[in-house]
Amino acid sequence: MIVAGIGSKRGVSVDEVLAAFDAALARAALARDDVALIAAPAVKGGEAGISEAAARLGLPLVLVPQTQLEAASNRTMTRSERVIALLRVPSAAETAALAAAGAQARLLGPRLALGPVTCALARREEDA
């Protein structure tokens, strides 16, 4: 199972989210159909751009609680001082993807940043 984790600044558009999502997939040589769900930090639950992107893709949106983001922190590849200050985790996209994909998940690469949106892809190890 592949999970796309999304991080963003406030007020992102659905098109910005989809552009980052598609760029991350292209970098990993994956298609939209390869992704099982979208994950984002629970504090992003009010971001219409993220929820609309998940709806357009026909994918469930999982809002990951802070405690689960923090539990996945030691498995991230990148670090953003801005995200650490806001969420107390190194990467919103990477921790969301890892937490939603499960304890055995691994990142397919570092998060991809495109404008105000980041996207990270995680896969459960048993699916690798």
Phi, psi of 29 (to 5 degrees): 55, 45
Give tens-digit pLDDT for 22-45: 999 999 999 999 999 999 999 999
Q: Would you say 94 and 105 are in contact if contact means Cβ atoms under 8 Å apart?
A: no
Q: What is the DSSP letter of 3?
A: E
Residue indicated by tokens 């953003």 = 80
Q: Would you say 111 and 79 are in contact if contact means Cβ atoms under 8 Å apart?
A: no
Residue indicated by tokens 């009010």 = 46
Dist. CA 40–CA 122, nearest whole Å: 13
- The low-confidence residues of the chain, meaning pLDDT below 50, are 127-128
